[in-house]
Structure 1
Amino acid sequence: MSSATAAPADLSTLDLGDHAHWTDGPPYELFAQMRREQPVHWSPNDRFPDEDGFWSVTRADLVHAATRDFTTFSSERRGIFLVDDVGVPLDVQRLQMISMDPPRHDRMKKLVGKAFTPGRIAEHEHVVRRIVQTVLDRFTDHDHVDLVTDIAQPVPARVIGSLLGTPESDDRRLVHWTNVATAFEDPAIRATWGDSLEEIMQVVAYIEAVRQERVEHLGDDLLSALITAEVDGDRLTEMEIATFFVLLLAAGNDSTRATYSATMLALMEDEEQRRLLVEDPSRIPAAVEEGLRCFPAFGMMGRAATRDVELGGAQIREGDRVLLWYIASNRDPALYPDRPDAFDLTREGLDRHQAFGAGGRHFCLGASLARMELRIWIEETLARWPDMRLDGDPTRIRSLFLNQYTHIPVALR
């Protein structure tokens, strides 16, 4: 579906969950047709015979409306994924703040917000820069690297680890546990798991050991702040701390890793855009926003209808799964009339994108951290290797939920 000359699809029989539509990455041309003709579209999801189908919402205004109407479109009822069975029981998924509805979500966000403040993130900027520099310095004498595995994976793992106060020696297994939580669609990654529920229990045991050690020796890290966070006498429980810990791992590792990799690839593919940044680094914040718009780390988030409702001309039934497609809404011509599929850091209205959600209760708590990390990362990369170029074929994860590359071979000079 990525070809500019592809014939229009028959939307009446289309199953968007069929990976045949995703072999070259997200099917942007197909999404454009859906926005025009059926902005709320039903797919049977035949790839998962034990699951029912799903609605796809692809227009920005409808994604915005559904996101803000949490009483009709629930995060908690069926979770945020494409299917119920992701290897982690739904009851366990519902312990995550991202899979909660108010009032549970509001209470959790208020408590977590006491610890995860913009001020704390801003104070961490020098640590983030040092982490980025340390990782990039490993390749000073290299001519070739894999942008994803060598550079994009270790940076966010250490940034999140430094915030939580976990040692660098644990980064690799924490990334592995992140994959268990989010990469359920890719058989190659899933083959590296053990029993998924057993792996989750290992995560819980690890976090509890770290939490207990921190209770006895409080520090200035985020985990200590979560332990001591209090609102009107209310505090986070041990399980709530553990589930937020896992959410930070998943969001922190998957998000910036994906957007950084795809943004750098776009800059390697467009010499004019790259030169703009090399010659004027003050444009890097704009490149961050355009990277978030074009390449959001999560292709969509799932909801479930709590009642029969009409949306965008479609009649949605109570219990139906509804997927809010950010990779489609971010390229909606209603938001970006001028070449919405192009990476262009000079365009206007960059802050209108929905990469962190479309407002409402579930707007991403880590947005400021992600922006700061990406800004520093792109700046330091271009300062070292302004002529980095692609040196082979990139490969992508097999997933509708995760919008990311697994390998991008590059020549540094």
Structure 2
Amino acid sequence: MTVSTDSTTGGELVFDPYDYAFHEDPYPTYRRLRDEAPVFHAPADDIWVVSRHQDVFDVLRDDAVFSNRMGVSLDASAWNPEAHRVMSFLGLDGAEQSRIRKLVSAAFTPRRVRELTPEVQALTERYLERTFHANAEHGEADWIADFAGLLPMDVISEMMGVPESDRDEVRRLADLVVHREDGVRDVPQAGMEASFALFDYYGAMVRQRRRTSTDDLTSALVATEVDGDRLTDGEIMAFLFLMVVAGNETTTKLLGNALFHLSAHPEQRAQVLADPALVPAWIEETLRHDTSSQMLARYVVEEVEVGGVRIPAGAKALVLLGSANRDERVFTDPTVFDVHRDRAELSRILSFGTGRHFCLGANLARLEARVVLEELVRRVAGFEVHADRAVRVHSTSVRGFASLPVTFTTRGA
């Protein structure tokens, strides 16, 4: 189905994932896509956009037809058969994907994630002190600059074995990788240079671990062996790059989105602050209502019909996770943020994908969010997000904030 537009309220329908106005609020466009053109051909980028929950679910589960072999990025420069050299198993299918994921999973175990809990708690306490100090001095703090933009990268860096002295630079490079310039329909030059710099850094780190093993994930990846098979340096570097971009950025955005949306609902905010048991539901509803990862690309191996529409072989399909999580066919009052939403509904969110490519870092993201938000609830009596001064990140891959001014009222203050 082809319909073209530049309005979300009537007129022709346009889908432009690089448009800064779309980044501010993509959900009206998603609603129109689901209602008017659930499988929509966007001619400007020659992509087939899939927006309904059932169709998104089916596409994600069928990697024989909807392949990852060209990567998952909308950006033209990242769309190629060598994508796995940058994005690890996220750019592979079938046996190749299973091999890398199996080897990585042998090192990146649930136990290793659980064992990070004390480190996440310690970092949370350190950065909350910094945040509350800024709040006391200025009447507000920047939740992203003072907290959410720091902790996830530190957690991942700690796990990988990145020295504290290098973490600010690694964080800066990761931010550049996902940022998109207004009017540039691809990775900006600064983002490409940042990617090369990160690969150089991780390459040196892997070589160092081959010389001298340490107690970190990088050394575990170097040492991992399954049925006589080992990861190459390039495969380890690609996984580390995937972790620092996907794992860091999405968790930062999740933490920002969580405060932004709860603050907009004072009654629910009061309930959560009075009952820490609501924190897991707060996290899951944030993931549903405004997920960090909005869309993923797939290469169409053979002509296929989706939602009654034929998509040609060789096409680029784009599945909208953010739209699927707001589908009225699955979720009750989907535009409403509700921490009391039925668990059966929340179990159907697609924020971390589904099937063979379900996000390997989902448990880590949820762990970080739970530790952070439970500690926040324990220590604050209230908070107010200054939404009028919030600054959004502009990216085709993640949705969240570059700056989020918040005034906190600490307990006992």
CA distance in 2, matches of 1:313, 1:32: 18
Deviation string 1:59-105 (CA, Å, 9 cap, x unpaired) is 1110111111111111113x21123225xx73552322211122211
Please show how residues 12-411 of structure 1 align to structure 2 within 5 Å: 14-17=14-17, 19=19, 21-22=21-22, 24-26=24-26, 28-45=27-44, 52-77=45-70, 79-86=71-78, 90=80, 92-95=82-85, 96=87, 97-143=89-135, 144-185=140-181, 194=190, 196-336=191-331, 338-348=332-342, 349=344, 350-357=346-353, 359-391=354-386, 392-411=388-407
CA RMSD of aligned residues (A): 2.2
CA distance in 2, matches of 1:398, 1:375: 26
CA distance in 2, matches of 1:407, 1:151: 11
Conservation of the 8 A alpha-carbon contact between 1:356 and 1:364: yes
Deviation at 1:296, TM superposition (A): 1.4
Conservation of the 8 A alpha-carbon contact between 1:262 and 1:295: yes
CA distance in 2, matches of 1:192, 1:37: 33
Q: 1:135 to 1:20 in 2, by over 3 A?
A: closer
Q: Which runs of 5+ in 1 are unaligned?
A: 46-51
CA distance in 2, matches of 1:330, 1:20: 22
Conservation of the 8 A alpha-carbon contact between 2:74 and 2:297: yes
CA distance in 1, matches of 2:323, 2:393: 18
Q: 1:201 to 1:83 in 2, by over 3 A?
A: closer
Q: 1:161 to 1:8 in 2, by over 3 A?
A: same
CA distance in 1, matches of 2:28, 2:188: 33
CA distance in 2, matches of 1:149, 1:37: 40
Query: Which has a greater percent of helix?
Result: 2
CA distance in 2, matches of 1:56, 1:198: 30
Q: Which amino acid counterpart does residue 40 of structure 1 have in structure 2?
A: V
Number of residue pairs aligned between Structure 1 and Structure 2: 393
Conservation of the 8 A alpha-carbon contact between 1:40 and 1:55: yes
Deviation at 1:20, TM superposition (A): 6.3
SS at match of 2:222: helix
Deviation at 1:411, TM superposition (A): 1.5
Of stretches 176-185 and 233-242 in structure 1, the one that deviates more from structure 2 is 176-185
SS at match of 2:298: strand
Deviation string 1:80-134 (CA, Å, 9 cap, x unpaired) is 1123225xx7355232221112221111001001011111111111111111111
Deviation at 1:315, TM superposition (A): 1.2
Of stretches 291-300 and 105-114 in structure 1, the one that deviates more from structure 2 is 291-300
Deviation string 1:145-189 (CA, Å, 9 cap, x unpaired) is 11112211001010101110111221222122223433245579x
Conservation of the 8 A alpha-carbon contact between 2:131 and 2:142: no
Deviation at 1:29, TM superposition (A): 2.1
